[in-house]
A and B are shown apart, each in its own frame.
Chain A
Amino acid sequence: MSGTDVKVTVPMLYLLLTLVQGKSHGYAMGQEVARRSHDRVRLGPASLYWSVNKLREADLIREVDGPRDEGGRGRPRRYYEATPDGLRVLRDEMAVLEDVILFARDVALPDPE
């Protein structure tokens, strides 16, 4: 095992979070991220799958069978779900972010003039 780290980015956290709600396919994940982030995080089509690939490489998500009722329109979509590792990383990162938020409140971040 090479031991190289994967840098978990904010879009990747969003993508992981969408999968906590249940398995989903790439495009839907991207749409959900945009909605949930109020369009602050918009992943272009290629970036979306780049991040998906990163998450897969790090074994944070994995490909699963899609719902059976979706037939009838060409290529079946590929569905992903979060792995236990993914959920663990998500919890760890959230803990870090909570600390960041608490710190920010503590210093009473002033509004920019």
Chain B
Amino acid sequence: MTSLGDRCVPALSRVLIGLHPRWFRREYAADIRDAIAAELNATKSNQTTRGVLADLARNLGRVWMSTLQTGGSEREPVRGAGALATGGGGFRGLGHDVRGAVRGIVRRPATSAGAVLTLAVGIGLTAAMFSIVQGLAMRPLQVDEPERVVAVRRLDPRFGESGVVPIDFSAYDDLRTRQTSFAALAGWQGLSVNLADDLEPADAIGGLAVTTEFFDAIGLQPILGRAFAERDGAVGAEAVVVIAHDLWSGRFGADPDILGTSIRLDGTPTRVVGVMPEGFGFPWNSDVWKPLQLDRAELARGEGPRLFMVGRLASEVSETAAAAELTGLVGQFAEEHPDTDGGYERVLVREWTRDFLGSSGRQALFAMLLAVSMVLVLACANVANLLLVRAVQSTRELAVRAALGAGRHRLVRQALIDALVIAGLGALGGLGIAAAGSRWFTHTMESLSFGIPFYVDVSLDFGVGAFVVALAAISAVLSAVLPVLHVGRTDSHDVLRSGCRLGPSRTAGRAGRVLVVVQVAVAYSLLLGAAAFGGTLGELRSIALSFDPDEIFTGAITLPERDYAEPEARRQFYRALVERLESGAGLRAVSLASDLPVAGFGASTFGLAGEVYEARQAPRARLSAVSPSFLDVLDLVPLQGRSLSAADDETSPRVAVVTASFAQRYLESDPVGARIVLGPRSGETAAPEDEIEVVGVIPDIYADVPTPPLPREAVVVPLAQRPEAAVNVIARAGAEPLAAAAGVRDALTGLDPDLPLSAPMTLRDMLLQNNFFLEILGTLFGVFGAAALLLSAVGVYGVMAFSTGIRKHEGGVRIALGATRRQVSALMVRQGLWRVAFGVAAGFGIGFLLVSSLSAALRVGMPTAATFAVLAALLLGTGALGSWLPARRAAALDLVDTLSMD
């Protein structure tokens, strides 16, 4: 201990002494060091060394407190007798300084307004982003012990952790019965049902089909009625449903007698047994929850519905422990049932809200928060410059005050209070911007057909308020650093001797140069980020847009299993519907498609005829079953071969067209005539009657989707040969596409009064929804980039105006010595440009890191070299303008004026 003390004490005490305010150090540091040395020489006990360090630390706090309260080293008179007993000291002068700050702000309204606005933008954007991050990523579910509610996912090794692959019912059921880590482990699958009653038109609503453990797993019970009991899940049990508060209070007028009422879901009379609390809509914003009614004994392995899992961890069981247990079980299943369960190796257990957003989503959000805080840094740099200008301009005043006895620390405090007042006003403005930002986000999310997840609440709350206060304090400190350093370094004697010109400008000029570099670097990296988003979005949008997505109408239809179980029934319905739509609804071209171009939500496995695939080894492609006019609606013509026609029906040989990227990747030599199989069984060669002949190649109609990972390769087959139960109407509808909705509804109800049309929208909206996360983040990044460009332009101008201003004297001398005005301003512009170039170089590095981290999270592509160059040129141009304007003004000044200035 002694030897450790020997080595550490001198270093630690040096650090502690160094942390004292400058005036104290200057006066006493050497004496204190001597005293410490003497003390340690006398005794080297632990007690001494500890005592020395404790004393230094205590003193550090004491000296700083005193410095901030009274302005430090001012000489103060002592009151007479009895001071020992009474004490004294305090905050005298604080009110005076605040008044001074307000006076200073009012005296220079333009610069002050600029500073306040700048900080308002920086604080506002950062707070808005924080409210989004908080709303999306930091809110727990409003249930009992939300951290125990976990998503449970069996990982498909092909897709990694982000691949969301449902598990088949029997495997789920085995997990549920064998596991010990969960208080409840439930399965669920998405459900789209047609809700009909005798009072109102049919309505397509979303919900879940769940196993009966569901509400126990979530840990939330209905406010009215009951949750599901085990008997509700038995085959042949009465059809029951639990409904969401929104549906209850909306469609059913909050009827207290709703329990026991029968409603028609997909034509089946279903009894309402419960109403959930307000605001609950698991997993997104469901309206109904129905029990799955299955008999395990009747299902072969691998059959039955495919489920997602949600569980409630048993108390004291960690996510890791639960995942380890389930991983072990999944390994056993793979051995017991290699055909259906082979290839799965791992189970992921993760808190539900965290999993819902995904680690990449969180990473993207926090990258955005980082990016926007760079805008705030930029804003602070601008304000720092403004305050520095103010400090330099009043250097002489400060020097006089210092000479008259105002302690330097009073002046430091004045600078800090200036910054605090400006930051306070900026924070008020920032709150307004943050409110607008979070409203915009909520509005955008709500306008999407899938709405906003039930647990997300992006709004200004106490957390955001506290965050804004913290931001204001940080901004004030950041903005005050330069002026404080300036005041701290200014020696009043020098200033008074030099007539206030030369002394401060060296330090201040250096600080200004650093500011320009920082601002340009930040602006450049943010612009690069914005460009990366823009480029990626452009790429996603450019797929197959040989048509105008604004003119294409879409709407979804789901045929209920009860009435349309037979393929033939579905085929007949689709034929009749297309006929009605073509003749009546005023549409120019109409088709039905199970998966929409651009927007498709899933992928299917396929194989090449004659190949044998092991479990989970078959490749995947998008799959859409379409009616004959599909390519006409999109205005596409086949690149090779032919398109699908009405002749390709259930009686003719099975055919398909594939997209260009599919042909290129899988059928390179001769796509037309190749034979493929959909959903090949593992380990078997497909039967000849399952083979499908490729008859044509069409342009790509899908883009890569990163989450969930979906390929761009696609197979398009005739709807008559694969009559899916859920299809979309897709029609070319002219300038007012949404007006077509009424005609399509009429056609539908004419065929089946219980069938609703859901989510009518243009293909453009669909596109927006498909990439909404990227779109929203891209828009935000665009705003950040624009703000950064503006702020840095203002900042470069401000710094240059200031530095050329204090160099007028030098300019005047140069002109007196024979330089032309043009040469002088060229010199100043050149120096300004060097700094901007330096900033661009630094920004290149930061921007590269930023974009790399974004691309890791979101597959945002790196901007092209041309983009890098154009943005650099943009900043250099801004810098040139920002330097030239003040330089021209400086060079235009009259020589005599310049030199006689004081």
A residues sitting closer than 8 Å to B (CB atoms) are 1-10, 13, 26-27, 30, 44-50, 52-53, 56-60, 75, 77-78, 85, 89, 92-93, 95-97
Interface residues of B in 40-57 (CB under 8 A from A): 51-52, 54-56
Contacts of A89 in B (CB 8 A): 78, 80-81, 83
Q: Does B510 belong to the interface (CB within 8 Å)? A: no
Pairwise interchain contact B35-A8, C-beta atoms closer than 8 A: no
* A97→B89 CA distance, assembly (Å): 22
Kindly identify which residue among B35, B73, B84 contacts A45, using a CB–CB cutoff of 8 Å.
Answer: B35
* CB nearest to B93 among chain A residues: A2
Pairwise interchain contact A49-B32, C-beta atoms closer than 8 A: yes
User: Shortest Cβ distance from B210 into chain A, in angstroms?
Assistant: 68
* CB nearest to B90 among chain A residues: A4
Contacts of B55 in A (CB 8 A): 44-47
Pairwise interchain contact B92-A4, C-beta atoms closer than 8 A: yes
* CB nearest to B54 among chain A residues: A44
Q: Does B76 belong to the interface (CB within 8 Å)? A: yes
Known A-B contacts A7-B89, A92-B82; the reply to A27 vs B75 at CB < 8 A is no
* A78→B24 CA distance, assembly (Å): 15
Pairwise interchain contact B83-A5, C-beta atoms closer than 8 A: yes
Q: Does B85 belong to the interface (CB within 8 Å)? A: yes
Pairwise interchain contact A50-B59, C-beta atoms closer than 8 A: yes
Pairwise interchain contact A58-B77, C-beta atoms closer than 8 A: yes
* CB nearest to A50 among chain B residues: B59
* A16→B79 CA distance, assembly (Å): 16
Contacts of A30 in B (CB 8 A): 35
Contacts of A3 in B (CB 8 A): 76-77
* A93→B73 CA distance, assembly (Å): 24
Kindly identify which residue among B24, B58, B90 contacts A47, using a CB–CB cutoff of 8 Å.
Answer: B58
* A5→B70 CA distance, assembly (Å): 11
* CB nearest to A88 among chain B residues: B80
Q: Does B39 belong to the interface (CB within 8 Å)? A: yes
* A12→B210 CA distance, assembly (Å): 78
Contacts of B36 in A (CB 8 A): 45
* CB nearest to A48 among chain B residues: B35
User: Shortest Cβ distance from B517 into chain A, in angstroms?
Assistant: 39
Pairwise interchain contact B84-A7, C-beta atoms closer than 8 A: yes
Known A-B contacts A27-B35, A44-B51, A57-B73; the reply to A6 vs B30 at CB < 8 A is no
Q: Does B38 belong to the interface (CB within 8 Å)? A: yes
Known A-B contacts A6-B78, A44-B55; the reply to A75 vs B30 at CB < 8 A is yes
Q: Does B88 belong to the interface (CB within 8 Å)? A: yes
Pairwise interchain contact A4-B88, C-beta atoms closer than 8 A: yes
User: Shortest Cβ distance from B30 into chain A, in angstroms?
Assistant: 6
* A2→B32 CA distance, assembly (Å): 29
User: Shortest Cβ distance from B94 into chain A, in angstroms?
Assistant: 13
* A37→B63 CA distance, assembly (Å): 25
* A45→B76 CA distance, assembly (Å): 23
Q: In the complex, given contacts A46-B59, A49-B28, what are 8 additional A-B residue pairs having Cβ atoms less than 8 angstroms apart?
A: A2-B74, A4-B70, A4-B76, A5-B76, A8-B84, A45-B55, A92-B81, A96-B81
* A6→B58 CA distance, assembly (Å): 19
* CB nearest to B69 among chain A residues: A4
B138-149 contact mask (Cβ, 8 Å, vs A): 1 or 0: 000000000000
Known A-B contacts A13-B84, A53-B27, A57-B74; the reply to A45 vs B93 at CB < 8 A is no
B residues sitting closer than 8 Å to A (CB atoms) are 16-17, 24, 27-28, 30-32, 34-36, 38-39, 51-52, 54-56, 58-60, 62-63, 70, 73-90, 92-93
* A27→B54 CA distance, assembly (Å): 18
Contacts of B38 in A (CB 8 A): 27
Known A-B contacts A27-B34, A48-B35; the reply to A53 vs B89 at CB < 8 A is no
Kindly identify which residue among A6, A10, A60, A78 contacts B31, using a CB–CB cutoff of 8 Å.
Answer: A78
Kindly identify which residue among B27, B78, B90 contacts A59, using a CB–CB cutoff of 8 Å.
Answer: B78
5 pairs across A/B with beta carbons < 8 Å? A4-B77, A4-B89, A49-B32, A60-B78, A92-B80
Pairwise interchain contact B77-A44, C-beta atoms closer than 8 A: no
User: Shortest Cβ distance from B263 into chain A, in angstroms?
Assistant: 78
Contacts of B58 in A (CB 8 A): 44, 46-47
User: Shortest Cβ distance from A71 into chain B, in angstroms?
Assistant: 16
Of A1, A44, A60, A92, chain B has the most CB atoms within 10 Å of the CB of A44
Contacts of A9 in B (CB 8 A): 84
Of A60, A85, A92, chain B has the most CB atoms within 10 Å of the CB of A92
User: Shortest Cβ distance from B227 into chain A, in angstroms?
Assistant: 67
Contacts of A56 in B (CB 8 A): 75
User: Shortest Cβ distance from A32 into chain B, in angstroms?
Assistant: 13
User: Shortest Cβ distance from A55 into chain B, in angstroms?
Assistant: 9
Contacts of A59 in B (CB 8 A): 75, 77-78
Q: Lowest 4 A-B CB distances belong to which pairs? A: A44-B55, A5-B88, A92-B81, A46-B59
Pairwise interchain contact B28-A53, C-beta atoms closer than 8 A: yes
Contacts of A45 in B (CB 8 A): 32, 35-36, 39, 52, 55-56
Known A-B contacts A45-B52, A46-B59, A75-B30; the reply to A8 vs B74 at CB < 8 A is no
Of B62, B82, B83, B86, chain A has the most CB atoms within 10 Å of the CB of B83
User: Shortest Cβ distance from A61 into chain B, in angstroms?
Assistant: 11
* A13→B62 CA distance, assembly (Å): 19
Pairwise interchain contact A57-B76, C-beta atoms closer than 8 A: yes
Known A-B contacts A27-B38, A46-B59, A78-B31; the reply to A96 vs B82 at CB < 8 A is yes
Contacts of B88 in A (CB 8 A): 4-7
Pairwise interchain contact A26-B35, C-beta atoms closer than 8 A: yes
User: Shortest Cβ distance from A93 into chain B, in angstroms?
Assistant: 5
Pairwise interchain contact A57-B75, C-beta atoms closer than 8 A: yes
Contacts of B80 in A (CB 8 A): 89, 92
Contacts of B76 in A (CB 8 A): 2-6, 57-58
Known A-B contacts A7-B87, A57-B76, A92-B81; the reply to A46 vs B93 at CB < 8 A is no
* A41→B391 CA distance, assembly (Å): 45
Contacts of A47 in B (CB 8 A): 55, 58-59
Pairwise interchain contact A8-B78, C-beta atoms closer than 8 A: yes
Pairwise interchain contact A44-B52, C-beta atoms closer than 8 A: yes
Pairwise interchain contact A6-B83, C-beta atoms closer than 8 A: yes
Contacts of B89 in A (CB 8 A): 4-7
* A108→B90 CA distance, assembly (Å): 38
* A60→B75 CA distance, assembly (Å): 11
* CB nearest to B57 among chain A residues: A46
* A78→B34 CA distance, assembly (Å): 12
User: Shortest Cβ distance from B77 into chain A, in angstroms?
Assistant: 6
User: Shortest Cβ distance from B840 into chain A, in angstroms?
Assistant: 47
Contacts of A48 in B (CB 8 A): 32, 35
* A8→B34 CA distance, assembly (Å): 26
Pairwise interchain contact B84-A85, C-beta atoms closer than 8 A: no
* A44→B57 CA distance, assembly (Å): 11
User: Shortest Cβ distance from A103 into chain B, in angstroms?
Assistant: 13
Contacts of B85 in A (CB 8 A): 96
Kindly identify which residue among A1, A8, A27, A46 contacts B83, using a CB–CB cutoff of 8 Å.
Answer: A8
* A85→B76 CA distance, assembly (Å): 13
Known A-B contacts A4-B70, A7-B89, A45-B52; the reply to A26 vs B31 at CB < 8 A is yes
* A10→B83 CA distance, assembly (Å): 11
* CB nearest to A9 among chain B residues: B84
Contacts of A26 in B (CB 8 A): 31, 35
Pairwise interchain contact A53-B24, C-beta atoms closer than 8 A: yes
User: Shortest Cβ distance from B739 into chain A, in angstroms?
Assistant: 78
User: Shortest Cβ distance from B51 into chain A, in angstroms?
Assistant: 6
Contacts of A57 in B (CB 8 A): 73-76
User: Shortest Cβ distance from B435 into chain A, in angstroms?
Assistant: 43
Contacts of A93 in B (CB 8 A): 81-84
Contacts of A96 in B (CB 8 A): 81-82, 84-85
* A48→B31 CA distance, assembly (Å): 10
* CB nearest to A52 among chain B residues: B28
Contacts of B93 in A (CB 8 A): 2
Pairwise interchain contact B81-A95, C-beta atoms closer than 8 A: yes
* A13→B83 CA distance, assembly (Å): 11
Of B51, B55, B74, B80, chain A has the most CB atoms within 10 Å of the CB of B55
* CB nearest to B81 among chain A residues: A92
Known A-B contacts A49-B28, A49-B32; the reply to A2 vs B92 at CB < 8 A is yes
